[in-house]
Structures are given as structure tokens and as C-alpha cells.
Chains A and B, each alone.
Chain A
Amino acid sequence: MRVTLHIWRQKSPGDRGQFVTYPLDNLSPDMSFLEMLDILNEQLIQRGEEPVAFEHDCREGICGSCAMMINGQAHGPERGTTTCQLHLRSFPDGAEIYVEPWRARAFPILKDLVCDRSALDRIIQAGGYISVGTGGAPDGNCLPVPKADQDKAMDAAQCIGCGACVAACPNASAMLFVAAKVSHLAHLPQGQPERKERVRKMIAQHDREGFGHCTNIAACEAACPKEISVEHIAQLNRDYITSALASLIR
């Protein structure tokens, strides 16, 4: 296969950045998108140029590292797929492919395709957990969880924290990310004591980080490599309103 890549190159956060074109030949359709970038980088090093910086690690679609816009789509054209699980067989021979980093004010670009997603960690730190110390937990079977609730919790808990929802959203909102954690814990009995406080704290941090508001466009769901549903955002909204009302009444 043959493709022409147009890749965003940006030396440092302050640099202007620009697209640079790289034609590549002799590629196998069985190659993953990142393996194609590996080949490009090997060639660049051989030529004495700096390789394209991009994040990647597990290459199994679970660590959430590999973040890039491919022809304007987060993680590329396949539904429910991370970039590392995207293969060249998804592209026609001779394709022109534009590759860019996530673009959001809350995700400053560090270099080329690498951006800083630590804002997502700070949202979890604001309350995306259950406060339980180690040791002394009751037997796991003391708290039965209906299978349907557990399944819902697990659907939400699958979030890999890649930030595709933010990149796909015209408002650069991280609402699907927040909703996934809120909904995961809200569907379990263990998550109830802190449920109201959690949602308020996480939303407040979300706003402080400079993410935009959710306007129900659902581009996040379409881009999510784990196909997390916007239903969880509806759950988040219900919890947020209940929580806000409760705090007013109190």
C-alpha cells in the first residue's frame, strides 16, 4: 500500500506548528496505524531528522495513550477503535491522511501529536473515587449488586481516559469522561454515600480546567473508542440537578 501523510509538527508548546507531508510506500494492510508511524520515524531518524512524537504504549486499545485526530476524526474512521487498533486495511490504497493532536484549551500541546491530558487526572482527584482505606473491608458478598446494575456500572467503567470525547466535542467538553466515572460509581451501592458531593466536585473541577459545556451534540459517543453511551451524561445531569437542589434545600 501507499499513503500520503500530512502530520502536524510542532517543536514545543510555544511553537506555531504546521503540517508536513510524508509519502510512504510498501506498506502492508495488516499494519496498525502506529506501526506505520514507527516506519516513518525509522526513516526520519535514518535521514537525520527528528521523529514524530506521539504517545502510545499498550497497543491493545486499553491504556488510552494513543491520541490523534485522523482526517478530523478522533482515533480515525473505525467506530469503537483506538488508534493503536486501527489498521491500514481501513484506508484505501493511495489515501491522503491528515494527522493532528487533540485540540482543546484544557489539553495544551507539548510536541507534535503529544498533548497534556493531566486535567482529566485532576477531575478524578476532585472526587472520582470511593473513600475507603485499606484493610477492614467487609466480605465482598456482603453487598449484593443486581447484575443489571453491575453491567451498567461496568459499561461506564470501561472509559480509558484517552480524551477522544473532548477532542470530538465542538465545545471541548469532557462531560462524557466525567459522566463515565460518576455513572460507574452511582450504579453501585458503595458509591451512594458520596454520590451527591462527588458529582458537584467533579463538575466544578471540570469547569475550572477550561473544558466547555455539554450541549448534547453526542459527537463524544461517536468518537469514544469504548462506545460509552451519552445515556451516562443524562445520568450525570440527573445526579447533578438532584445534588444541586439538595444543597439548596439544606
Chain B
Amino acid sequence: MSLDAKVPSGPLAEKWTRFKREQRLISPANKAKYTVIVVGTGLAGASAAATMAELGYKVLVFCFHDTPRRAHSIAAQGGINAAKNYRNDGDSVFRLFYDTIKGGDFRSREANVYRLAEVSGNIIDQCVAQGVPFAREYGGLLETRSFGGAQLQRTFYCRGQTGQQLLLGAYQALCRQISYGTVHMFPRCEMLDLVVIDGRARGIVTRHLVTGKIESFAADAVVLATGGYSNVFYLSTNAIGCNVSATYRAYKRGAFFANPCFTQIHPTCIPVSGEHQSKLTLMSESLRNDGRVWVPKRREDIGKHPNDIPESDRDYFLERKYPSYGNLAPRDIASRAAKEVCDEGRGVGPSGRGVYLDFADAIRRQGIERIREKYGNLFDMYERITGENAYTQPMRIYPAPHYTMGGLWVNYELMSNLPGLFVIGEANFSDHGANRLGASALMQGLADGYFILPYTLTHWLAGVKPGLPPLDHPEFRRCEAEAHQRLKRLLSIGGQKTAVEFHRQLGHILWDHVGMARCREGLLQAIEQIRSLREEFWENVRVPGSDADLNMALERASRVADYLEFAELMALDALRREESCGAHFRVEYQTADGEAKRDDERFCHVAAWEYTGPDREPIRHEEPLIFETVKLAERSYK
């Protein structure tokens, strides 16, 4: 089967304009005849649902939280990129596009990324109009700062709570539509399955998390905006509830899963303090604007108070290795460099898995008040978690699993290979290649939801007749029955271990073998270990309670069950990609000075996996990446 990306022809800069010019339309009077389901209410889901409803479609929105305002987009701290060139520092759509393509190590689709850069300016305008309180200069105009992987200041921000403010903007737009009755909101509902009839996505099966009721909903199109899967590592920066279930179950119904091994390890997280730990906390990458990263030069200095180590005995390793980008080297590069110095035995903190992020210079230069104004809430958060004051001594940070660049395969129109199934935001694979640059996740979420999907979905709907399949269709019945059975089965095992224990074990396997650096042998070993852990899970998990009321242990077990299958796909994908690119590092493939070595001859493509049944190897399809405008180059930040 060939994967048609449906990229419009013509010059790169005109593709999106051309698509919009040629798209089919639906008359306002007819739009209300179409029903669209949106699953997930983060930046992508909420903005898409609000916009589709504004256009006149009937929209059903589902989220597993008690309210859409709790989606994990809310936790993004640092900012959102846009090619506004307000700073007069040489920014342009092309430069934002190029930084993003290069940052992703040339493993994303050129046309998608260009479009992302193209609509980035509109996002800022839209959010300002909604009342998002972006940081301002004294003259009242918008302020910006810089982020990893760029030599410009194009990142707009709301103190350290940019994700929160952007999400609240989208949530308020959604609330407005709910009040108009154009959006029907279903909170505390988890999607359990995708219903496919005659090869086309026609609805979903959900479980109400309080009553346990399993229900079906039909639609003309289904949009998944369900986020990423880095919780597969157990410890990650994701919220506890983030999971792969919606996209994985769509995969089991025929949607292709693209590049599952592309997971990002974020360089600036608070290090793990002990086995009890349930999640990792990110310290915004924006801190690297003013913080200098270092470790002691000599092992003998480990354990000394950092303020007692003189300047001459400190190794500012990012500034040393990457002089032109310094502390603002992209995430994958900064993460690997931190791991490297810790592997050499120069890591700091109780676990030896930490490096210093030091603000002493910035405080000396700019004054403590300025630093407090820029990052105050982050410093407070750090102190609350570690009990240390980062104004008087450096922070300790270490890389942790963060964003996932893999996701369901989509074409230029954001539709998966299953007609009628659209996937947006982090849940799809398309825009970040093998590594996501900072401040571009918020950009993609809102670009997809506000400015891309409403056009492409309209174009697709215009080609199908409106009308819903009956909910007693055998396919709906079958999916509901399977969902019931699965939950009953989980409850009936009555084993010895909790789902959380299995999850923690799975996380260890993945972090060791499918984490920041991978090798063939490790991956083969991981696959074996995942298989036997999965087998044990289905014989020995213990899930208390019933499926007829609020049962968070059951929800967790069900998601862990999906992770136990999905993890194998991740390892398999990493195994087959015999190159290093972006955040994906295969130790067998590196340059003489230890940088990632791409293989454009063999791997300049998207790997999209097709499910073929339980315990059968999935089929790997390839979508070649065609670069019409940029020249593939070795990524250098030196």
C-alpha cells in the first residue's frame, strides 16, 4: 500500500494558499447536517472544536478530565514561536520553517512544516484578540524571548505559564460555543475504541468514568487530539493521565502509527529523587536563556557545594562544545551532552544524575528582581520540589522523557489512512521530525486546531454525504462488547501485582534500552522483556473494584495494558531505523565526535506501521520524504 501524503504541487510557499484556493466548500446552511467528534480538549482539540462549531458544524467533544481546562497543554511553560519579526532580528516564515526542519533533523514533511510557520503569526493575533495576556514591553507591544535551536527572539510568552494561558483562551472559545449549544461537551468520558464501518471512521465507543456506562457515538468524521505517549516510560514530564490508548486503539482498527520511536528527552527536568517518584517536573527551556549549564571539571569536586567550586574548575560543556548556540543548543543535543558528562562520573546531586543550571552570572548582570520577574514561578516550583533556593545556588537538572514526535500517520490534510479519521496536535506525527524544538508544540496544537483542520476537514466533508450510521449497527455493537469484555477481563484476573508496578517495570526497560541512546542488542533484549512482562500482566495483575462506578485503578490498568503492547512497537521501530537522527540516537551510528549520524540514503522516510493482529509482526510502510526546497545537511550547532 502506498501512502499518499497529498501534498499540493507548486512552490513550497504557495502550497497552502493553493490548497485553500482549490478546497471544496460546504454552504453554511448545510454545515449543520454534519457531525464531528473531537476527542481530547488540549490546545489542538479545544481550538479545533471551537472553530468547527463556529463554522456551523455539530460538534461532540470528549475528555477524560472533569473539565476541558485540565488538559496537559496547560503545563507548558516557556512559550510559543511565531515568525512575526517584531524584533527586527531577521526572522521570516522561511527561517522559522528552516529552523524547525533542521531541528527535526530532516525527518518531517517539508510542506507541513512550512505551513506551520506560515500560520504561526495568525495564532498570536488570534490569541491576543481572545485576551491571552502575553508579556508586553513598556510601550505596550508584545515581548519575545529566545529558545533552544534558534538564534532569534521569536518566542511569545505569558511568564512561565504560556500553555495555561493559551489553553484557557481555547477553553473559553470552547465554552462560548457550548453556551450557544453548537458544541456538546462530554467530560469524564474516555474513548475506548474507534468504530470503523466499510473502511471509514464512523464513531467512537466511550466509557463514562463516573457511572461506568459504555456508550457509542456516531459522526461524519472523528478527530483525535489525544496528545502524546511519553508516559510509556512511567517517569516522564507528562501528566499522570496522559496515555496512548486512543491512538493505539485506532492503530488496532487500521490507522497507521508513524515513527513511534521518536520520543524526545527534555534536557531541563528536576532529577529523580527516589523510587517513590511518580512523575518528573520540567523546568522550562526558557531558563537556558539566562542559565549556564556546567559540571565540575574534576571528579574530586563532586559533592562539594557548587558555590565553593571556582570558575576555573567548572566545565561549561555546552558553551565549550557548541560555541555558536551555547546553552541554547537544541534539546536532543543538550540532553545527550548532559548524559555524557554524567556517564563520565561528573554528574552532581545525590544520584550523580544531574548537571547544574546556574543563574549567578545573570543575577549579577541583570539583578535578582529581573530574574524573579522572568522566571519567578519556576524558581518557586523548583524550591517546593527540591527544598533548594535557586537564587543562591544553581539548580540541578537532568534529561527526562517529554514530548513524542511519533503518532498516527496523517497526510497533508491531517487525515489518517482511514478515511474520516483526522489526527491533530501531538497525537499525529507530522511536523517535528526526529526532534521537536522548544515552543513549537503549542504552535502546532493551535495551528492544527484553529487554522488547518477547519479547512481540510471541510474539504473532505464536502465530498461525503452527511448522515450517521445507526448506533445499533453490528460494528458499534461489536466494539462495545469488546470494550466490556476487556474491562471484565482486567477485573477478573485477581493477581498479585498492581498495574502501577507493571508500569514502573516497563518504564525501566524502556529507559534502559529505548531511551536516550539505543543499540541493536539492547532493543532486541527490550522486546523480549516487554513480551514476557505483558504475558505476566494478563496473568498476574490485580485490579480492585468494579466497572460500574468511578474506578481509577481500572482506568490505569487499561492504559498500562495498551502501553505494554505499544512499547514493543516503539522498540521495533527503533530497531529497524538503523541511523541516528534528532532525539533518536542509535549508538552504532555516530560521527567521530559523537554526534548523531543520519543515513539519508536508506532512511529519509517516515516509517508507518500497520497492525496485522495480536502476536503478529506489524508491517512497516514507508513514506519517502521529498525535500524540494531545503538541502539535506548535517545538522551543526557548533
Contact = CB atoms under 8 A, between A and B. Distances in A.
Contact of A144 (B47, B140, B173, B451): B140
A45 B130 contact: no
A89 B179 contact: no
A118 B131 contact: no
Contact of A134 (B51, B136, B187, B282): B51
Given A114-B550, A185-B131, 10 more contacts: A34-B278, A35-B278, A50-B553, A85-B384, A117-B67, A121-B67, A129-B172, A130-B172, A144-B140, A144-B141
Contact of A137 (B128, B134, B141, B454): B128
A62 B161 contact: yes
Contact of B172 (A58, A124, A158): A124
A28 B274 contact: yes
A58 B74 contact: yes
Interface in B45-96: 47, 50-51, 54, 65-70, 72, 74-75, 84, 86
Given A60-B75, A85-B384, A117-B67, A30 B51 contact: no
- Report which residue of B67, B68, B134, B501 has the largest number of chain A beta carbons within 10 angstroms of its beta carbon: B67
A130 B125 contact: no
A58 B75 contact: yes
Contacts of A139: 125
Given A140-B125, A144-B140, A153 B278 contact: no
A49 interface: yes
Interface residues of A, number: 79
Interface string B163-182: 01100100111011011000
B133 interface: yes
A131 to B, nearest CB: 6
Nearest to B76: A62
A204 interface: no
Contacts of B278: 32, 34-35, 38, 59
A110 to B, nearest CB: 6
Interface residues of B, number: 80
A126 B72 CA distance: 24
Q: Report the 3 A-B pairs with minimum CB-CB distance, sorted nearest first.
A: A144-B140, A129-B172, A137-B129
B490 interface: no
B175 A129 contact: yes
Interface string B113-129: 00000000010111111
A191 B131 contact: yes
A150 interface: yes
A61 B77 CA distance: 12
- Report which residue of B68, B165, B172 has the largest number of chain A beta carbons within 10 angstroms of its beta carbon: B172
A53 interface: yes
B550 A190 contact: no
Interface stretch (B425-433, B526-534, B541-549, B590-598): B541-549
A132 B129 contact: yes
Contact of B128 (A44, A59, A80, A143): A143
B281 interface: yes
B387 A190 contact: no
